[in-house]
Chain A
Amino acid sequence: MYRLFQTLNRRAFLKAFTLTVLVVVLVWLGSRKLQNFDPALIAYLTGTVFAVFGTSYRYSVWIQRPPTRLYWQRSMRFLFSRHFFPYLWHSIKLFFRNILFQRFIAFRSRRRWFGHFLLATGCLLAFAVTIPLTFGWINFELRPGDDQTYHAMLFGFQAGTFRLGSPLAFIIFHCLVWCSILVTVGAVIMMNRRFTNGGLIATQTFEDDLLPLVLLIAISVTGVGISYDYTFLEGKTYQFMAVTHAITVILFLLWLPFGKFFHIYQRFAQLGANLYKVEGARRGMAICPHTKKAFASQTHINDLKQVTKELGFDFDKPDGSSHLDLSPEGKRSALAAAHFRVRKESGKFFG
């Protein structure tokens, strides 16, 4: 316990604590002083609040690392520069392309993209539905005198109405079922890769690669189980279905900050990295002294020299230049040339 306090990152703790308090306040306000909060969801709320704390703590620790901090600061500076509007537009396009549609995965493998897209879309949709419900921001009401019209309330204000038994009501009430189907199909495709791809079999681990998929499938199946129960079994197995679903979801929420799912948050850094590349190219490219070709932005090379120094590496040469001024091909050639020189000086090229 004492070690926990010793290793605690105070800045991250403060940020995470502030954000957690803010979420609790927003739950209080958004649910109109808990009037619209559903007490049956208290366990989910507790899990979500913990996930907010844990995720923001880890995120904060993560962006304190020298290379991450530098990317973070640079991306923010580039975004909020005089090129704000073009860069904002670029970021919005990238958000749709890389975050919502994960198009970059298609270039790794089409099947993999399809599986991941289904899985991610199901998860994001489910988050969009369950988080406002859990926070009491969304609720549904029947008004006196009309037991056929449902009123959808957002923060206590009417946001829409629909007739019970209508196709719209069917789609809305089964939204999480559609999500479960997307997640299950996606997770099975991804799981199949993990059982058949030799490269993955050699490098994967149960806790990092298989367990997340097992957990997502368990959440989806138990979630569909609740619908199945009240549709076909007259609620006879409700307790079992509800408890198993709650356990799997809460496990997911508790694990969110620590395990593989943290990459959902890390993925946003890809937007910053793209912006960094665009702005870097605008500022000017670095030319490799060996190949005489542009290979990266000069900003990137300069930043990397600074970051490597902060991390304890010193690639500076006595003549004032740096080994990092060379392109990857230039570095390989420099190594080979140095090896050639030593062999030549020894009088034998082979031995």
Chain B
Amino acid sequence: MPETNYNMDMAFFVDMQRCIGCHACEMACAECETNGQESMIHVNYVDRAVSVQTTVQVCMHCENPACANVCPADAIHQDDFGVVHSANTPRCIGCSNCVLACPFGVPKKMEEAELMMKCNMCYDRTSAGKKPMCATVCPSQALYYGTHEEIARMRPNSTPVNSFKFGNQEVKTKVYVMMPKGAKQLIVD
């Protein structure tokens, strides 16, 4: 990687309950140069038939990423900062293994380009000490990029959690989800 100014004190905090489904993050995401002007963030209704609840999903940058493990082409790599990068374009064979194995449902397959793309935490910006595009525009702060001290001050009744359980699998991530005070893990069943 070229010389970077990645700030390891900064972290990404997501609070899905704050998502109002405005799609501002999608528009901002498409401005990220590492995505080639494609929006990588997901905003969707959770269960439209019974609720207007929306959710927002960025790549959680797992400590042991399932997407990279199941990639038959070794196209996904995690850098020294823990950022899991989008598929290496010469290598990606468009098999969709990563799309289907990611427990958070993050990677996107660009069908015609036969390429997987995903959020890489706006690496062009974060590697230069700036905030990811989505976090800079989110009006409800469902997406927040800052220090642990800042988030503790802003959300005194919440705890950032980066441990998840999907079935029997525990997953630790670089990105945090804001949970009720004292919570240790988000169990998804």
Instruction: Using CB atoms and an 8 Å cutoff, list the residues of chain A in contact with chain B.
Output: 62, 65, 67-68, 70-71, 98, 104-105, 107-109, 197-199, 201-205, 260, 263, 266-267, 269-270, 272-273, 276-277, 290, 296, 300-301, 304, 307-308, 311, 313-318, 322-324, 326-340, 342-343, 345-346, 348-351
Contact = CB atoms under 8 A, between A and B. Distances in A.
B112 A107 contact: yes
B179 A308 contact: no
A310 to B, nearest CB: 10
Interface in B29-76: 32-36, 42, 44, 46-47, 53, 55, 57, 66, 69-74
Say what secondary structure dominates the interface of chain B: loop
28 contacts: A68-B73, A104-B113, A105-B113, A107-B113, A199-B32, A201-B124, A202-B2, A203-B85, A263-B91, A266-B93, A270-B93, A273-B72, A311-B70, A313-B101, A315-B103, A315-B166, A315-B168, A323-B169, A328-B42, A330-B105, A332-B55, A332-B105, A335-B16, A335-B164, A337-B46, A338-B189, A342-B183, A348-B157
A342 B96 CA distance: 31
Given A199-B33, A311-B70, A323-B188, A328 B105 contact: yes
Given A333-B46, A338-B186, A269 B102 contact: no
B177 A339 contact: yes
B36 A109 contact: yes
A141 to B, nearest CB: 41
Nearest to A269: B93
B167 A67 contact: no
A323 B166 contact: yes
B150 interface: no
Contacts, number: 205
B106 interface: yes
A202 B33 contact: yes
B8 interface: no
A239 to B, nearest CB: 36
Nearest to A270: B93
Contact of A62 (B16, B74, B156): B74
A335 B124 contact: no
B2 A201 contact: yes
A330 B105 CA distance: 8
A263 B104 CA distance: 28
A336 B56 CA distance: 8
A337 B51 CA distance: 11
A205 B1 contact: yes
B96 A296 contact: yes
Contacts of A345: 180
A292 to B, nearest CB: 11
B110 interface: yes
A300 B94 CA distance: 13
A314 B169 contact: yes
A267 B91 CA distance: 7
A300 B100 contact: yes
Contacts of A317: 167-168, 189
A272 B167 CA distance: 31
B95 A71 contact: yes
Contacts of B46: 333, 336-337, 340
Given A197-B33, A263-B91, A340-B17, A335 B167 contact: no
B70 A67 contact: yes
A56 to B, nearest CB: 17
Contacts of A109: 36
Contacts of B105: 326-332, 335
Contacts of B85: 203
